[in-house]
Amino acid sequence: MASSLDAGDAALAAFDADHTAVEGMLDDLGGRLRLRVLTRGAVPRSAWLRTEPHHEERLTPLRRERGPDERGWTSWVAEAPVATHEAVTRYAFRFVFGDHQAWLAADGLHPGDPDPQQHFRHVAGYAPAAWTWTQVVYQVFPDRFRNGDPTNDPQGGAWSVDGRPIVRRGWDELPTRGMGAREFFGGDLDGVREGLDHVADLGASTLYLNPIFASRSSHRYDTVDYGRVDPHLGGEPALERLLAELRRRDMRVVLDAVVNHTSDHHPWFDRAGVAEPPGAFADPGSPHRERYVFREPADPESYVGWAGVRSLPVLDFASGAVRRDVYGGDDAILRRWLRPPWRIDGWRLDVAHMLGEGEGAAANAEHLRAIRRAIREERPDAYVLGEHFFDATAWLQGDQEDGAMNYAGFLRPLLAFWAGVDFRGDPERCDGAELERRLTRVRARLPWPIALSQLNLLSSHDVPRFYTRVGGDRAAFLAAHHALFGYVGVPCVYYGDEIGLEGGEDPDNRRPFPWDEARWDARIHRTVRRLAHLRRRHPALARGRYRPLLARGDAHAFARVHEGSAVIIVTHRAGGRVVLPVGRSGVTGTWTDALSGEALRDDGERLTVDVERGGRTLVSDADVLGGLPPLD
């Protein structure tokens, strides 16, 4: 996980070290850790493992275990106690030479003691949703994927959203800015089921569905009834049919949990004054009043809405009733759908960082820990995924979430590198070195099993599609997909990205899926499909160690390494010849291009690769390519 690419002087450049918290390099012996680190190049005078029991430094000598081997690698080992004063055990490695020292932390080599925030991390007893590591996730916005049952389509004018009548759109129309929440295109869960042939053929194995519970808008982030699937999506029978078909195909599903806020038409809130008993808005004496925050008790309009949106009143987790009905009670929302007959595989927690007590996110961590416990009580391997646009590492230390939608640690760095903009669309400079630094900054602050569980994405229902962000530049778009399927974490394809569907700001990023294949970009589809299948098949891409190889100017390259095999991802904004130090991956020999089949031979240390503008994926074991979908 660490790299001499970060070294700024010749002394560090003459030394390399490698450690990732994978089995064999980290073994939890029950109260103690056995840790191994590999080095090559300059030979240290002494070597140490640094830990911090009780917040005080402890240096334990590293013992030379074996080596150097035929490639020059030496293995060192030491044992240390698991931290008892906090859940996370932090550690780093120190190597002393004649006139300098080198420290190895999760973000690479340092000439001196690195910030403890960058130390390696281990959480004793943490149980990851390890099944996610082998998955390719496909995100579906239900109203826009496929219409499987026109009889349940919403009819124009049948009700109002934000005081304006809903509109029924034709499938080939485009969403209209300012009307997104009240535009319906007719997609439903039977349509999702009908589209599974396409999803499976692509290589995806898990569905992430945007909200499916009863609501008044087309995005359904304004829940009216958490216990009922929206009838315009086909209701519970359609969900049962979809889940049965997913199980038949050995596929999984993650649902969207919107429990930070409700619709203002939810019976608990009852803006329309039709519920029995009356809701919090309709009656100050309502038993549901405690579920929401009112700044002025006598003024029903003083309630707090999510991000100021009046149709989305925020739930107050200081309320015992909210805690009971969301996660604490036997029939709580987050428990019910994990049980038979539904047995979903996980929850995506909408705006997870904002949930809490009162107007803000007070006691957020306390409630997310309780939510995790409740979910895992129902299903021990359930995936707990949080939505975070910014740094999510505080929520990813083993006690709250398994993974986050990796905007900060993947999408935003890739967007800056390939599109030259930040997520707001403003100019942002990012070369290969900065790309590596930004990827590493987030990855290094995560325990390794959690790094493997991050949901990496290029597009979603909340941001413009990546293809549009790069101005329809196919080479850039496909290069980003080489990174998506190669980088540490779980790749997620937003419906339509695989065929070149474009889309700007919400709601344009939620266009209906075009099922006429004549409208697809065939090259994009074939490339994404082949890379997705390779991702499912190659263990190095599921759990392999990360070894940066090149990060400079327009070029970026890294290797994923697992049990003697490796995959290299190399991308280049301008195109050109690069020389990759493959010896530092520990795997050398012949490398085969996963798309073209071209075979390249390294010299035992370096591999010369010609890269057209875009990206290449190279594998050390060509036999894994047999049976992958063809490119033509």
* Contact (Cβ atoms closer than 8 angstroms) between residue 292 and residue 320: no
Looking at residue 583, what is its pLDDT?
95
Asked whether residue 52 falls in the same domain as residue 119, the answer is yes
11 and 119 belong to one structural domain: yes
Residues 286 and 337 in one domain: no
Round to the nearest angstrom and report the end-to-end CA distance of the chain. 36
For residues 24 and 87, state if they share a domain.
Answer: yes
pLDDT of residue 243: 98
Structural contact between residues 215 and 222, judged by C-beta atoms closer than 8 angstroms = yes
pLDDT of 1:
46
My answer on whether 279 and 328 are in the same domain is no
Does residue 89 share a domain with residue 23?
Answer: yes
The CA-based dihedral angle spanning residues 431, 435, 436, 440, taken in that order and rounded to the nearest 10 degrees: 150
Amino acid at 580: L
Q: Give the residue from 269, 262, 264, 266 showing the smallest Cα distance to 284.
A: 269
Same structural domain, 320 and 292: no
Asked, for residue 590, whether it belongs to a domain, the answer is: yes
Residue 551 and residue 611 in one domain:
yes
Q: Is residue 449 part of a domain?
A: no
What values do phi and psi take at 115, rounded to 5?
-55, 130
Cβ atoms 137, 200 nearer than 8 A: no
The count of C-alpha atoms lying within 13 angstroms of the C-alpha of 367, restricted to the half-sphere facing its C-beta, is 27
In-domain check, residue 167: no
In order of 142, 325, 510, 541, the CA distances from 519 in angstroms are 21, 46, 17, 31
Residue 54: its pLDDT value, please? 86
Structural domain includes residue 27: yes
Residue span of the structural domain in which 59 resides: 4-123
Residues of the chain scoring pLDDT < 70: 1-12
Contacts of 494 (CB under 8 A, 6+ apart): 139, 457, 458, 459, 460, 461, 465
- Residue 557 falls inside a structural domain: yes
Q: Are residues 267 and 324 in the same domain?
A: no
Per-residue pLDDT at 111: 96
**Chosen domain end from 92, 123, 154:** 123
Whole-number Å distance between alpha carbons of 571 and 373: 41
Same domain (yes/no): 335, 298? no
Do 76 and 25 sit in the same domain of this protein? yes
**What φ, ψ does residue 536 adopt, rounded to 5°?**
-70, -30
What is the per-residue pLDDT for 11?
Answer: 64
Give the C-alpha separation, 60 to 93, whole Å: 10
Q: Name the domain boundary from 123, 146, 177.
A: 123
Q: Is 593 a domain residue?
A: yes
Express each pLDDT in 477-512 by its tens digit.
999 999 999 999 999 999 999 999 999 999 999 999
The CATH number covering residue 612 comes to 2.60.40.1180
DSSP state of 381: T
User: In sequence order, what DSSP letters do the residues of 507-526 get, joined into one string?
Assistant: TGGGPPP---GGGS-HHHHH
Structure tokens at 163: 């005081």
Note the pLDDT of residue 9.
59
Q: Quick one: DSSP state of residue 328?
A: I
CA 599/CA 619 separation, integer angstroms: 9
Domain C-terminal end among 336, 364, 383: 383
Within-domain flag for 469: no
Examine residue 412 and state whether it is found in any structural domain, yes or no.
no
**CATH number of the domain enclosing 310:** 3.90.400
Question: Domain total for the chain?
Answer: 4
Q: Same structural domain for residues 338 and 293?
A: no
Question: Which CATH number is 65's domain given?
Answer: 2.60.40.10
Annotated catalytic residues are: 350, 387
